Structure 1
Amino acid sequence: MARYTESKCRLCRREGEKLFLKGDRCYTDKCAFERRAYPPGQHGRMRKKPSDYAIQLREKQKVRRLYGILENQFRNYFKKAEAQKGVTGTNLLRLLETRLDNVVYRLGFANSREQARQLVRHGHFELNGRRVNIPSLQVREGDAIEVRERSRKVPAFQEAQEVIARRGCPEWLEVDSAAFKGAIKAQPQREDVTFPINEQLIVELYSK
């Protein structure tokens, strides 16, 4: 499947906001966004008043890049969110949050969503006792996620306790880092998504 393979820091600079695509590196002085907090390219420093469409597009791109979703995938998520009962924007964020790769990242078993996606693809996790390797798999309330016994010596999992202690775990999830286990206690609510996102702009963009 096609994936963005260029510099991750360019994406943060393009969106004008830290997306934490490189995990812990984004918290250090080595972060490129800290040194060059303006869009990439020779015209990056030019000031230009964005149109309403440009603002909506940038918000959609920001969320898409934050979760590592391709355009067609993101559009399909929006259609599912629109078909569900409730607020479309909140439904969209809930669908993105309950992706398996995002849950693995939020539990602290990976340093970034990209690393979480790779670990899932390589079959290092079990969902309700069964091995899984599909990052986009939707988890539900009551599901249990566990690092496979033979995978627990992988360095990424050895660092899990430090990551969880530093980053914290959302209230809708429960983690036992010593046992390499996690569980979904409830469906995520809008307030559980702490990253600054204006989902209404995305709804307006796709509703045109």
Structure 2
Amino acid sequence: MSRYTGPSCRLCRREGTKLYLKGDRCYSDKCALNKRNFAPGQHGKSRKKTTEYGMQLREKQKVRRFYGLTESQMRMYFDKADKMKGITGENLLRLLELRLDNVVYRMGFASSRAEARQLVTHGHFLLNGRKADIPSLITNVGDTIEVKEKSKSSDKFKALMENRAGNTVPWVDVDVEKMRGTIVTQPSREDIDLPVEEHLIVELYSK
């Protein structure tokens, strides 16, 4: 399945919750979900009977859209999480949180995950001192992510750092002046502020 390239706000309306795909716009009155809080399409306002499968599917789609994943990527991460020790659903979310593009977003070096993915692809970051341009790369505790020296002087990153309201993610430590961040511990479920019921995803893929 190819990556979705349509209107981002349409995805939020379909899932009935903010996915924060448009950065600052999602926090403003311009958010489409504030204006039209119903599913897109001709029958978006009509009530539909929700089945058990439908609930499981929606949770899976919600997580996919939060992190910008294709279906094959989502399945790959689930299979990997299922083989790890611990609770499969929490393992899945932890893996997704440790993706390089998501860590860049969590550190405040991008206003959205989509923007973080683009910035990583364009080679604006160093991972442990080396160029890293693969958004799906899984990071580890102790890894350091830094904006490249040439990119630090850009208006884009200066604005991001000026508007950054402190470090609100407990599992990363960020030095705003140096535009550098370090993963200090693995994110726990309590640290992941996603309104999803991951056990439904496990049930869906376990059928």
Normalising by structure 2, what TM-score? 0.97
Alignment match, 2:185: 186
Query: Cα gap change, 1:199/1:170 in structure 2, threshold over 3 Å: closer, same or farther?
Result: same
Q: Which amino acid aligns with 2:176?
A: S
Deviation digits for residues 100-143 of structure 1 (CA, Å, limit 9, x no counterpart): 00000000000100000000001100000101100001110011
Within a 5 Å distance, the mapping from 1:189-200 to structure 2 comes to 189-200=188-199
Is 120-129 or 156-165 further displaced after alignment? Answer: 156-165
Alignment match, 2:203: 204
Deviation digits for residues 140-195 of structure 1 (CA, Å, limit 9, x no counterpart): 001111000001123331122244317x4310000011111000001111111012
Q: Provide the rounded CA distance (Å) in 2 between the counterparts of 1:147 and 1:206.
A: 37
Give the 3-state SS of the residue equivalent to 1:65 in structure 2: helix
Q: Provide the rounded CA distance (Å) in 1 between the counterparts of 2:104 and 2:136.
A: 11
Q: Provide the rounded CA distance (Å) in 2 between the counterparts of 1:183 and 1:27.
A: 27
Shift of 1:2: 3.2
Q: Provide the rounded CA distance (Å) in 2 between the counterparts of 1:183 and 1:33.
A: 34
Cα RMSD, aligned residues only? 1.2
Within a 5 Å distance, the mapping from 1:18-167 to structure 2 comes to 18-165=18-165
Q: Provide the rounded CA distance (Å) in 2 between the counterparts of 1:93 and 1:40.
A: 27
> Where in structure 2 are there 5+ consecutive unaligned residues?
none
Give the 3-state SS of the residue equivalent to 2:43 in structure 1: coil
Instruction: State the 4+ residue runs in structure 1 displaced beyond 3 angstroms.
Output: none
Q: Provide the rounded CA distance (Å) in 1 between the counterparts of 2:90 and 2:140.
A: 16
> Where in structure 1 are there 5+ consecutive unaligned residues?
none
Normalising by structure 1, what TM-score? 0.96
Q: Is the 8 A contact 1:160 1:177 kept in 2?
A: no
Query: Cα gap change, 1:18/1:157 in structure 2, threshold over 3 Å: closer, same or farther?
Result: same
Q: Which amino acid aligns with 2:82?
A: E
Give the 3-state SS of the residue equivalent to 2:126 in structure 1: strand
Q: Provide the rounded CA distance (Å) in 1 between the counterparts of 2:96 and 2:134.
A: 14
Shift of 1:5: 1.1
Q: Provide the rounded CA distance (Å) in 2 between the counterparts of 1:163 and 1:97.
A: 22
Q: Provide the rounded CA distance (Å) in 2 between the counterparts of 1:64 and 1:96.
A: 10
Q: Provide the rounded CA distance (Å) in 1 between the counterparts of 2:133 and 2:101.
A: 10
Q: Provide the rounded CA distance (Å) in 1 between the counterparts of 2:2 and 2:111.
A: 22
